[in-house]
Amino acid sequence: MSDPLLSPEQAQQLVLQDIPVLGVERVPLFDALGRVLAEGIAARHDNPPQDNSAMDGYALRHADIAGASAGQPVLLEVVEDIPAGYVPRKSVGPGQASRIMTGALVPEGADTVVRVEDTRAEGKKAAVLVPPAVGANIRRRGEDVRAGQEVVPAGSPVTPGALALLASLQRALVPVHRQPVVAILSTGDELVEVDEPLAPGKIVNSNTYGLAALCLANGALPLMLPIARDEEAQIRRAVESALSADFILSSGGVSVGDYDYVKKVLDDLGAQARLWRVAMKPGKPLFFCVLQGKPYFGLPGNPVSSLVSFLQFVRPALRKAAGHLPGTWFLPQVAARLEHDLFNDGDRRQYVRARLRLEEGRLLAAAPQGQGSHQLSSMLGTNGLLLLEAGMRLGAGDEVQAQVFGDL
């Protein structure tokens, strides 16, 4: 009992050491959204594929119009209309221009495009009133990406923007890391399912839902297992059935209570224990082991503790497994100004659920009352965890470090 607790950072590092990066699969482009690219993607062709016009206007030879002005417009013969998507048939000679649309190929002979706003149509001729710089309004071949160049590096998250870029590179199939499948197991004789009657002494199993939702929100696929009673054989069967997943999360049963059988069962199954108990509040009783090659998190049973522990330890592990690059595994941390006093008279760091909001460009933090580890209402409308070190006493207006876990 007297072994010192690990710091949350030590525990995070220990956990991450045992997390494998999952393998690669090729998925249809749109299914790659939210996943992580497993191989760098090079361009097969230049983009833009050819020089094309950035404006609706006239393609022409700059030498012809260099001296044009509203008082002394230059008249040019219009030889062709070039819509986007077609190949010009005529080249532009001295004293000539082609009407050109945005995205249309620049015809041979032309070196500049004049915007239609800087011209006036005069019968079959065009009068140029304002000369742009030479080469203006032409998007050059390859100026976005060059053939052969690696455009999207391995480890890139496939965001909507990256997806559009991959589409422009004609990648119908995309190599991404597998999404971690996460088995979720809640233990406890007191638990009933959401749709079961609440007999005296019972509470609703909320952890399975909260943890599964966090998995989905973090790019993993939850596998929700039935409740296991506080009984060795049942917990053992449940754990064995969870081994089909890449990760196993259980909640409850890892404390020091008389019916906390989870660690015993894991021990019997040959698990290699890595850590137990972290200096944090909520969330002290955290057990982590490797069971037949699979990372296993024994999360605390208290509902808020299980969610906060997920964010600190499981989320980084899932991100590593899914191929996210180091440096992006942990929740982003920022400085915020407290809107009220906040004390931590205990001896462990507190993770205080708080509302972070931007006001005139400054980040403000306010923590709701009721921060008990059983008080799920503290998760409602909150998007941040304030890091309140042991002994810290802060006043309104003081700066506090905050981890961001929801939209600002």
The residues of the shown chain that bind Mg ion, judged by CB under 5 A, are 188, 252-253, 301
Out of 47, 137, 205, 309, the only residue in the binding site for ligand AMP (CB under 6 A) is 205
Distance CA(79)–CA(109), nearest Å, equals: 12
Q: Which is nearer to ligand AMP, 208 or 312 (CB)?
A: 208
- Count the residues of the shown chain that bind ligand AMP, applying the rule CB under 6 A: 18
Of the candidate residues 186, 250, 312, 403, the single one contacting ligand AMP (CB under 6 A) = 186
Residue 188 within binding range of ligand AMP, rule CB under 6 A: yes
Site for ligand AMP in 255-274 (CB under 6 A): 255, 257
Instruction: Collect contacts of 369-377 with beta carbons under 8 A, ≥24 apart.
Output: 372/304, 373/281, 373/282, 373/283, 373/300, 373/302, 373/303, 373/304, 373/305, 374/302, 374/303, 374/304, 375/304, 376/206, 376/210, 376/303, 376/304
Pick from 207, 309, 350, 382 the residue near ligand AMP by CB under 6 A. Answer: 207
**Alpha-carbon gap, residue 152 to 172, rounded angstroms:** 15
Spatial contact of 194 and 209, defined as CB atoms under 8 Å apart: yes
d(Cα 16, Cα 27) in Å, to the nearest integer?
27
The contacts of residue 255 (CB under 8 Å, 6+ apart) are 285, 300, 301
206 lies in the site for ligand AMP, by CB under 6 A: yes
In this structure, the strands spanning 203-204 and 191-192 are parallel
Q: Number of C-alpha atoms within 13 angstroms, CB side, residue 281?
A: 13
Pattern of binders to ligand AMP over 281-320, x per CB under 6 A? -------------------xxxx-----------------
Q: Which does 80 bind (CB under 5 to 8 A by kind): ligand AMP, Mg ion, none?
A: none
Q: In a 3-state reduction of DSSP, which class is residue 232?
A: helix
Nearest distance from C-beta of residue 260 to Mg ion, angstroms: 6
| Least CB distance to Mg ion at residue 252 (A) | 4
Among the listed residues 222, 253, 282, 298, the single contact to ligand AMP using CB under 6 A: 253
Q: Which stretch binds ligand AMP (CB under 6 A): 49-57, 174-182, 201-209, 363-371?
A: 201-209
Instruction: Quote the tokens at residue 171.
Output: 């990648």
Q: Which does 186 bind (CB under 5 to 8 A by kind): Mg ion, ligand AMP, none?
A: ligand AMP
Q: Cβ(183)–Cβ(228) under 8 Å?
A: no
- Residue 216 sits at φ, ψ, to 5 deg, of -60, -45
Instruction: Indicate the residue among 1 and 256 with the shorter CB distance to Mg ion.
Output: 256
Residue 250 interacts with ligand AMP (CB under 6 A)? Answer: no
Is 213 near ligand AMP (CB under 6 A)? no
Minimum CB distance to Mg ion smaller for 258 or for 407: 258
As a dihedral over the C-alpha atoms of residue 257, residue 258, residue 263, residue 269, rounded to 10 degrees, the angle is -170
**In the complex, minimum distance from the CB of residue 301 to Mg ion, in angstroms, rounded to a whole number:** 5
Residues that bind ligand AMP (CB under 6 A): 186, 188, 190-191, 203, 205-208, 251-253, 255, 257, 300-303
